[in-house]
């Protein structure tokens, strides 16, 4: 997924071939190659401000505390990258300022919070998850993405999630967003705190077909379900979250969550060796 127009502009022409290879292989994740390229000196670069920012904007409620993170993905296991701001690359590019999950095991899960504050259930969607998907071509409805399962909890013990029962993709349509209802990590991230800033209202504005003005995947606490894959959610826990809000968000590689209809993980046909690359989470309202 790590193909980025901004970085291509700044690198010597000899390395365009490497980036073209990364794009054409549809999200092939050669992290060693990327780290080598990014270590090269950058010259003749315009000053556009840093992303991640030196400090988070006070009016954007970014999850700012890592509760649990155990990834072993080489070069992308710094969990601070999941809380240091949103640095999206746009419709056709993916950010490199991310924390990557493993496909399975302890490293396939990330838990974040808002430093003890509570995300409230308000009108419309209540939070947005930003990964780093991108559209494969200008004329395509196909996306290179890493699906993840999303759970929330008020007390850090009882987690509730969203309806995944619509999952039933064939190999031919597995990279269509419509094949993964209820999952996160599907839609490109337009929002970039340095180059494409948005207000809270703008971030939570739909543009059609489930897409948001600033990109990412939005979730509404009114859509939480009782039960659900990987949760221990009963009716009381769901009602508590919908009434009082949540403090913890848990994101898990889809391949590490058992689909009750098959007895195996929700598997995307990966050609690479790690799962979702998390850029951050933004809540609409906290207290």
What confidence tens digit (pLDDT) does each residue in 211-265 have? 999 999 999 999 999 999 999 999 999 999 999 999 999 999 999 999 999 999 9
Per-residue pLDDT tens for 162-189?
A: 999 999 888 778 899 999 999 999 999 9
In a domain, 226, yes or no: yes
Give the CB-side neighbour count of residue 79, counting CA atoms within 13 A. Answer: 19
Look at the block and give the residue holding tokens 């990014």. Answer: 38
User: 237 in a domain, yes or no?
Assistant: yes
Domain ranges, residue 77:
49-283
Q: Report cis status (omega within 30 of 0) of the bond before 196.
A: no
Q: Is residue 96 part of a domain?
A: yes
Is 3 part of any domain?
A: no
Phi, psi of 259, deg, nearest 5 = -80, 115
**pLDDT band for position 118 (cuts 50, 70, 90):** very high
Domain membership flag for residue 81: yes
Q: Is residue 39 part of a domain?
A: no
Asked whether residue 12 is assigned to any structural domain, the reply reads no
Say if residues 275 and 100 touch (Cβ distance below 8 Å). yes
The number of folded domains in the chain is: 1
With respect to residue 31, please indicate whether it lies within any of the assigned structural domains.
no
């Amino acid at each position: 997924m790590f193909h980025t127009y901004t970085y291509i502009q700044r690198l010597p022409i000899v390395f365009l071939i490497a980036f073209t290879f990364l794009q054409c292989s549809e999200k092939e994740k050669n992290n060693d190659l990327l780290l080598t390229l990014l270590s090269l000196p950058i010259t003749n670069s315009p000053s556009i401000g840093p992303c991640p920012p030196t400090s988070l904007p006070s009016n954007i409620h970014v999850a700012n505390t890592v509760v649990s993170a155990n990834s072993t993905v080489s070069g992308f296991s710094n969990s601070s990258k999941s809380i240091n701001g949103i640095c999206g690359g746009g419709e056709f590019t993916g950010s490199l300022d991310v924390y990557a999950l493993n496909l399975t095991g302890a490293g396939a899960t990330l838990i974040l919070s808002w430093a003890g504050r509570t995300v409230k259930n308000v009108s419309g969607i209540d939070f947005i998850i930003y990964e780093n998907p991108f559209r494969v071509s200008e004329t395509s409805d196909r996306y290179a993405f890493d699906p993840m399962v999303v759970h929330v909890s008020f007390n850090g013990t009882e987690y509730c999630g969203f309806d995944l029962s619509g999952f039933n993709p064939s190999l031919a349509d597995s990279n269509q967003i419509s094949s993964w209802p209820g999952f996160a990590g599907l839609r490109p991230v337009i929002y970039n705190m340095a180059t494409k800033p948005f207000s809270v209202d703008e971030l939570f504005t739909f543009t059609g077909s489930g897409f948001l003005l600033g990109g990412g995947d939005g979730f509404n606490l009114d859509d939480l379900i009782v039960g659900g894959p990987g949760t221990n959610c009963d009716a009381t826990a769901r009602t508590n979250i919908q009434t009082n809000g949540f403090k913890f968000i848990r994101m898990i590689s889809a391949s590490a969550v058992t689909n009750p209809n098959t007895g195996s993980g929700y598997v995307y046909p990966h050609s690479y060796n790690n799962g979702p690359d998390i850029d951050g989470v933004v809540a609409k309202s906290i207290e």
